[in-house]
Structure 1
Amino acid sequence: MNKQEIVGNIAAKSGLTKKDVEKVLSQFFDEVSNALANGDKVQFVGFGTFETRKRAARTGRNPQTGKEITIPETVVPAFRPGNKLKEAVK
């Protein structure tokens, strides 16, 4: 399922226009992204938690040359599902 399919489904079930749903969904993504960029967690009880995690520096290998390279520490987004979501997927 992609973004347009989600927008269409929400619009059909809520009675809102696709344009309005698109605005709300885009703003939602922006808010989650901004919160994660600031180091905050975004929690939806029962659904899950969006958070950031530090990935430690490590040694990798260039596949073309075989030369070892150092991959620096980085911060990555992560999602941890909640109990209701886990149960719905079973």
Structure 2
Amino acid sequence: MTRSELIAILIEKNPHLQLREATLLVNTVFGGITSSLAAGNRVELRGFGAFSVKEREPRLGRNPKTGEQVQVSKKLVPFFKTGKELHQRLNKAGLA
């Protein structure tokens, strides 16, 4: 699902919303999640899952073109852990 599809579903389920309002709502939610993660906080949506930031340690990598070893510095990466309800719904739907 894309951001546009999410906005379309939001408008479909809430016909009183205009496209600009629905877009603003979706962008506000995503912006809030992003800002919170950037500040080092965890974002939990009960039943759906939790977003957090994990630190990847520096490591030796390889340049795929040359095969040369390169040092990859440490970095922060977003992480998502599914909530219990989402996990159960996915397994019930036979997607596993």
TM-score where L is the length of structure 2: 0.88
The residue number in structure 1 matching 2:10 is 10
> SS state of the match for residue 52, structure 1?
strand
Q: Which runs of 5+ in 1 are unaligned?
A: none
Determine what percentage of the aligned residue pairs are the same residue: 29
Compute the displacement of 1:18 (Å). Answer: 2.2
Compute the displacement of 1:17 (Å). Answer: 2.0
Give CA deviations for 1:18-76 in whole Å, capped at 9, x if unaligned. Answer: 22111010011111111001000010111100100001111011112211111011111
TM-score where L is the length of structure 1: 0.93
The one-letter code of the counterpart of 2:55 is K
1:48-63 equivalences in 2 (<5 Å): 48-63=49-64
The residue number in structure 2 matching 1:75 is 76
Distance 1:26 1:48 in 2: 19
Total equivalences in the alignment: 90
> SS state of the match for residue 10, structure 1?
helix
Q: Which runs of 5+ in 2 are unaligned?
A: 92-96
